[in-house]
Amino acid sequence: MKKPIKILLQATIPTSEDDWDIARFSMLRDYLASCKDDDGNNLFCVTARNREADADENEPVLSSLDSSDFDELWLFAADIGASLTEKDCEGISKFRASGGGILITRDHQDLGSCICSLGEVGAAHYFHTKNPDPDTSRCCRDDPYTTNIDCPNYHSGSNGDYQKITPVEPVHELLKNPNSPFNTIQFFASHPHEGGIGVPLNAKHAQVIATGTSKITNRPFNLAIAFESIKDEHGNTLGRAIAESSFHHFVDYNWNTEMGCPSFVEEPPGNGIKKNPQALDDIKAYVRNVALWLKKLKD
């Protein structure tokens, strides 16, 4: 029997009942833990945790991730920009250099901007005051309703609704869904103010795989970028990686609004996913694809 793929779901913030800590990703955790192979064996072994700090303020798991037995890191950056230490970033970078797969995601404006220090995958994320979008025409508000949130803040729909995505041709394997009538994933969870991402300069092994469309401006924006494995300048085989425009693609509240949200959420929710179960099926198919695709590369 093959060993299950070991996945770390990690928030960049400490435990906080009134924030987007890792408890808000319980449906993602439970779905991954439920996935089976054709023989009925568990595909994934999932650990979900919030940020902790040792005596030197480093995160004990992230700072030594390269020496762990995890195959993948899914990092949900919900901080305001100062949660990853230099040693944390070093541990994550060494993990990818050892073949580990990483998914890094954030949200609007400057939320999660600590990830900018995570090499090329961090550089794929654009923020309001740090690593802004090089296309200056995009450095303006998209969502006009939540006035305390500035760009990037692409409005793909209400929490609890779904957005119709556009797979980039040729369709990447991450977006295949044989159980869909279209054979491809059509829907992601939507969010009123998604962040901005783009392929870093000279990252020829990276590509945008899906785009969304603002419901306010009709402007297309990038939803996910896939980084294929390459050799770095030191001869290390880097693991695969994904940059996502918003961690709300994976949040309980965005999959099922009855799961609740932090008290600071102002926007009224939608019920699109509840009315159209196919949307959640697509989202789960994508999650499964990601977890299989990011599996740690063995020497």
Query: In this structure, are residues 255 and 236 in contact, taking their beta carbons and an 8 Å threshold?
Result: no
Q: At 285, which amino acid appears?
A: A
The string of pLDDT tens digits covering residues 219-260 is 999 999 999 999 998 999 999 999 999 999 999 999 999 999
Question: What pLDDT score was predicted for residue 267?
Answer: 96
Question: CA–CA separation, 182 vs 178, rounded Å?
Answer: 8
Query: Which residues of the chain are under the pLDDT cut of 70?
Result: 1, 299
The string of pLDDT tens digits covering residues 153-182 is 999 999 999 999 999 999 999 999 998 888
Question: CA–CA separation, 169 vs 109, rounded Å?
Answer: 29
Q: What is the number of other CB atoms lying within 10 angstroms of the CB of residue 243?
A: 30
Question: CA–CA separation, 52 vs 13, rounded Å?
Answer: 8
Query: In this structure, are residues 6 and 63 in contact, taking their beta carbons and an 8 Å threshold?
Result: no
- Side-chain half-sphere CA neighbours of 65 within 13 A: 32
Question: What pLDDT score was predicted for residue 1?
Answer: 60
Q: At 20, which amino acid appears?
A: W
Query: E strands, the chain, where?
Result: 5-11, 44-49, 72-76, 101-105, 125-126, 162-164, 166-167, 187-189, 196-197, 206-213, 220-227, 241-244
Question: What pLDDT score was predicted for residue 42?
Answer: 97
Residues 6+ apart with CB under 8 A from 266: 146
Q: What fold is seen in the domain 5-293? A: Rossmann fold (3.40.50)
Q: At 138, which amino acid appears?
A: R
Question: What pLDDT score was predicted for residue 81?
Answer: 75
Question: What pLDDT score was predicted for residue 82?
Answer: 78
Residue ranges per domain, the chain? 5-293
